[in-house]
Every structure is written in C-alpha cells, then in structure tokens.
Amino acid sequence: MAIRTAKAAGVRSPGRAAIAARTLRTDRWWAYPLTTFIVLLAFIAYAAYAAIANRDYYAEPYLSPFYSPCLSFHCGTVPGSAGAPHLGWFGTWWIVTPAVIILIFPLGFRLTCYYYRKAYYRSWWLSPPACAVPEPSRRYTGETRFPLLGQNIHRYFFYAALAFNVILTWDAVVAFDFGGHIGIGIGTAVLVINAVLLWLYSLSCHACRHAVGGRINHFSRHPIRYKAWTFVSRLNPYHGNFAWLSLVWVALTDLYIRLVASGVIHDPRVF
C-alpha cells in the first residue's frame, strides 16, 4: 500500500524531503536530454520523408536499407529506382510505400530497446529528464501498465531485427557486383559499414544476451552458449554507442543512395 501511495504522488509523496528548488544539480544535466531530443527528432523527420517519398531508393547495385527488401512488383518502376530487385510478395499492392511496411520492424526494435527507452523517456517525456531532477508529472507508474507494458515485446522484435540484418548484409554483398564485375564504390563501403553497425547494435542487445546465456544454471555444461554469452557481454556495455551510430548511419546510407539515384552526386569507384 505504501508503494502505491509513493507511485501516485511521485517525488512529492509523504515522507520525501521537501525541497523548494527544481533541482540541486548545477552541472549541464539538460545537455543529454536536449541533444537526444534533437537527434531523434531529426531522424524521425528524415525517416518519415524517406518512407513517404517512394522514389530514389535504388542506384545499381545499391538498395536503400529503408526499402529493403522491396515487397511489391512496383519496386523498380518508380523514379530513381529502375531495376530495383523485388520479392513481389505483395503483388502490385501499393496503398502505402514498401518502406512504411518495412520500417515497422526496425522501428519497433528501436522503440522498445532498453537504451532508447531511457533516451526518449528522459528527452521526450522528461520522466525524469536526468538523475536528481524531478519529472513534471505527479504520477509515476513505470512500465507496469498499458501501453508501456507492451515494451516487453522487445525480445520478439529482436528476432525480426536479425532477419533484417541478414537481408541488409546480403545487400552489402551485392553492392560489390557492378554488372557482373567485382568492384568497390563509396556506396559499397557505406552499405558494408551499415550492415556491420546494425549487427553490432543487435548483438549487443540485452535481449540477445539473455537469449544466448539466459536460463542456464551451469555454464560449464553449455560451453558454446558460454562463449556466445561472453562475446555478447563484451559488446553489451557499448550498446548505447552502437544504438546512436547505427541510427545515424542508416539514415546517411539512405541519403547517400538517394543522392546517387536522383543524379545529384556521382558514386566514385575505388576500382
């Protein structure tokens, strides 16, 4: 009962020290939530534009990660995407762009990510904006109720993200194929880095760590899982770094291919 009362009243609950000041912190605690807010807003705005634009996502052999895999026969027929490979699973269905359907999975993975949860709870909801800075809301229920209870779906988005990583890795491999000749362009490097960063982000995921090493009583009886858990545990402390790097790079990858496909820039070939 005491816990419920504290949750309902938050930092102003009975028994908490009454401090008139908004916070006693004197450092620039607001820098992290403000930067996070700006970067996430910029990514959301760019991703929304790229997903709705429905053009300029393929410049052979580069396919934008926002439109991979192309699901409809219409892929390859819109401006700036001539010849784009497609799966045709959705026939000629074209009510929303392929990117809108595809983005459900990587965005779901990121939205439910433990790291991003901290980031947008602090920067978008100010809940709380920083340690030792109270949130404006008087009520706090954490992730115990709908809709935040749904954050538990993260482990399933993790498996979907792995499937997308395989697809985007294949796109990076295909980016070496210039009409039957092996070559490397700047776009090849961009797509390879994109795939590597996405793998690092996924493999450092907390759900991944649990998937490979959780529910085991004796690591000595599971040496392979122990090795996998040790590997993931080494990556895990850098999960936040991989989260930002992969987010920014996937947007830059789309932007690079968009500029090449629309003819704004030329893709320099290394060989």
Q: Which parts of this chain interact with ligand FES (CB under 6 A)?
A: 113-115, 154, 158, 205-207, 239
Q: Closest CB to ligand FES among 29 and 115?
A: 115
* Shortest distance (Å) from residue 109 CB to ligand FES: 6
Closest CA to 19 of 122, 129, 133, 142: 133
- Which lies closer to ligand FES via its Cβ, residue 74 or residue 154? 154
Beta-carbon contacts of 34 under 8 Å, excluding residues fewer than 6 positions away, are 123
Q: Is 15 left (phi over 0), alpha (psi -120 to 50) or beta?
A: left
Q: How far is the CB of 206 from ligand FES (least distance, A)?
A: 4
Nearest approach, Cβ of 8 to ligand FES (angstroms)? 29
Nearer to ligand FES, 205 or 261 (CB): 205
**Least distance in angstroms from the C-beta of 113 to ligand FES:** 3
Nearest to 81 by CA among 252, 257, 266, 256: 257
Which region holds residue 222: left if phi is over 0, alpha if psi is between -120 and 50, else beta?
beta
Return the number of the residue (74 or 110) whose C-beta is nearest ligand FES. Answer: 110
Count the Cβ atoms, other than its own, within 10 Å of residue 265: 13
